[in-house]
Amino acid sequence: MLTETTVNALHQRISDEANARSICMAYQNWCEKNGYPNTKLFCQQLANDHWANHNDLVEYLQECGHHSHTPNVNPQPEDIKNFHHLMDLLVIMSQKHLQALNDTVQTCWQQNDYDTMPFLNTRISKEISRHKRLSTWKKQLRGLPQSGEGILIFDQSIK
């Protein structure tokens, strides 16, 4: 049986995942509107991953005998100035997710709710891989202008 503190921490993760999905969908729309098809697909996959994580958390709580709350999804994504700014926002979002996941793991550990660890560790591993990928892309962008052919070619390299 999970402690109330752990259940509350997992509810916060559910809310965070729902909000992240919504923000990624806004990023996806920006990419569509600005002609970055591969980055759009990346943001779409990111949104799908957040939705899957949300659903996995809901299912996990239900398997543990708890009900999940429907989160209020009201993110206000920052206006994207250009492609470089989008990459900055994605890296920041990834950093925030890693910190929030780490906080959730610490909460579960302190509550002796060790059964959550495999589930959360899988999520952390995925986010670390994503963060490395985004950081690499951000470094590769350093020499490119804010817009133009270089950015379009860079978008084509995103897989």
User: What values do phi and psi take at 75, rounded to 5?
Assistant: -70, 145
Is the CATH number of domain 4-157 3.40.50.1240? no
pLDDT in tens, the chain (159 residues): 899 999 999 999 999 999 999 999 999 999 999 999 999 999 999 999 999 999 999 999 999 999 988 888 877 788 999 999 999 999 999 999 999 999 999 999 999 999 999 989 999 999 999 999 999 999 999 888 877 788 999 999 887
pTM for the whole structure: 0.91
